[in-house]
A and B are shown apart, each in its own frame.
Chain A
Amino acid sequence: MSRIPQGCQTLGGLRAEGVNRCRESFFSTFSSRGYMSFLPSGLQLLESVWEKYPPAFRNRLVPLNSPYAEPSVLMGDPTLAALAYMSAHHAPHERPLRLCYAQKVYRRGDAPEDPFESYQVGAELLGWNGHGAEVEMLSLIMESFEKLSIPLPTVVLGDVRILKHLCSALSREEEARLLAALSSGSYSDYYSVVAQISSKNGTAAFLQVLPHLKGGEEVLTKARELCGNLPLEDLQEITTSLKEMGYRKQLRLDLALFREIGYYSGPVFDFYLPQEGRSLGGGGRYDGLLSQYGILGQALGFNLDLERMARNIPPSAHGKTVMVWGGQMSPPKALEYARKMASLGRKAEMSWHESPEASRELARIRGYGWWLDGKTGQLHDLKHPGENPQAQDIWSKEECSC
Chain B
Amino acid sequence: MLTVALPTGRVLEDAVEVLQFLGIPTELLENRGRKLILEDSSWRFILAKPMDVPLYVSRGIADLALAGSDVLAERKSSVVELGDTRKGRCRMAVAGPREVAKRFESHESSRAGLRIATKYPRVAEEYFQTRGIQVDLLHLSGSIELAPRLGMADCIVDIVQTGSTLKANGLVVIEEICPVSLRLVASKKSVHLRWERFAPFLEAFRRKS
Contact = CB atoms under 8 A, between A and B. Distances in A.
Interface stretch (B26-34, B81-89, B158-166): B81-89
Interface in A102-117: 110-113
Classify chain B's interface size.
20 to 34
Interface string B168-209: 000000000000000100011101110110010010011001
Interface residues of A, number: 26
Given A110-B76, A214-B195, A188 B189 contact: no
Interface string A181-220: 0001111110100000000000000000001101100000
Given A110-B76, A187-B80, A187-B83, A214 B192 contact: yes
B183 A188 contact: yes
Interface in B52-110: 55, 58-61, 75-84
A148 to B, nearest CB: 20
A191 B55 CA distance: 25
Interface in A152-207: 154, 156, 184-189, 191
A154 B60 contact: no
A294 to B, nearest CB: 35
B81 A111 contact: no
Contact of B78 (A110, A188, A257, A272): A110
A187 B61 contact: no
Contacts of A111: 58, 75-78
A215 B195 contact: yes
A211 B79 contact: no
A228 interface: no
Given A110-B78, A111-B75, A156-B192, A278 B58 contact: yes
A277 B195 contact: no
A276 interface: yes
Nearest to B54: A111
A305 interface: no
B81 A278 contact: no
Nearest to B184: A188
Contacts of B183: 188
Given A212-B195, A272-B189, A188 B84 contact: yes
A252 B188 CA distance: 13
B192 A270 contact: yes
A111 B71 CA distance: 12
Contacts of A185: 78-81, 188
A279 interface: yes
Contacts of A277: 58-61, 187, 189
Nearest to B63: A277
A189 B82 CA distance: 9
Interface string A370-397: 0000000000000000000000000000
Contacts of A279: 188-189
Interface in A56-102: none
A254 interface: yes
B205 A188 contact: yes
B79 A188 contact: no
A184 B72 CA distance: 11
A191 B206 contact: yes
A184 to B, nearest CB: 8
B81 A187 contact: yes
Contacts of A257: 192
A252 B199 CA distance: 16
A270 B83 CA distance: 24
Contacts of A184: 81
B75 A187 contact: no
Nearest to B194: A214
Contacts of B60: 276-278
A191 B196 CA distance: 19
A317 to B, nearest CB: 28
28 contacts: A110-B76, A111-B75, A111-B76, A111-B78, A112-B75, A112-B76, A112-B122, A113-B77, A185-B78, A185-B80, A187-B80, A187-B82, A187-B83, A187-B202, A188-B81, A188-B83, A191-B206, A212-B195, A212-B199, A214-B192, A252-B192, A254-B192, A254-B195, A270-B192, A277-B59, A277-B189, A278-B188, A278-B189
Interface of B: 55, 58-61, 75-84, 122, 183, 187-189, 191-193, 195-196, 199, 202, 205-206, 209
